[in-house]
Amino acid sequence: MITLDKWYPYIIERQGVQTVAFKAAVARVQEEYKQAIKANKIEKATEAFDLELYNKRARQNTIELEMFGNRRRFQIFV
């Protein structure tokens, strides 16, 4: 509600309880949204890192298995 104060030549806005509660709720939701975005970015980075580690381990295991396979093949020729 906007009222005119007779002692001061400007308009003073009075905020009701619902307005204050609504502004607090909006601020809380916006903060939660910002935190959710940060958490999502961190989760995506973690998943990418996990995939990279998995690929490196798989490649290392493949190389090790190939080394053992080559030894057996060369023993036939010896």
Q: Give the 3-state secondary structure of residue 62.
A: helix
Instruction: Note the pLDDT of residue 35.
Output: 97
> Residue 67 pLDDT more than 90?
no
For 2-57, the pLDDT digits (tens) are: 555 566 566 667 778 888 899 999 999 999 999 999 999 999 999 999 999 999 99
On whether the CB atoms of residues 4 and 11 are closer than 8 A, the answer is yes
Per-residue DSSP letter, 58:
H
Tell which wins on pLDDT, 72 or 37.
37
> How far is Cα 57 from Cα 51, in angstroms, rounded to an integer?
10
DSSP string, 6-56: TTSSSEEEPPPHHHHHHHHHHHHHHHHHHHHHHHHHHHHHHHHHHHHHHHH
For residue 4, the model assigns a pLDDT of: 58
**Residue 73: per-residue pLDDT:** 59
Of residues 70 and 13, the one with the higher pLDDT is 13
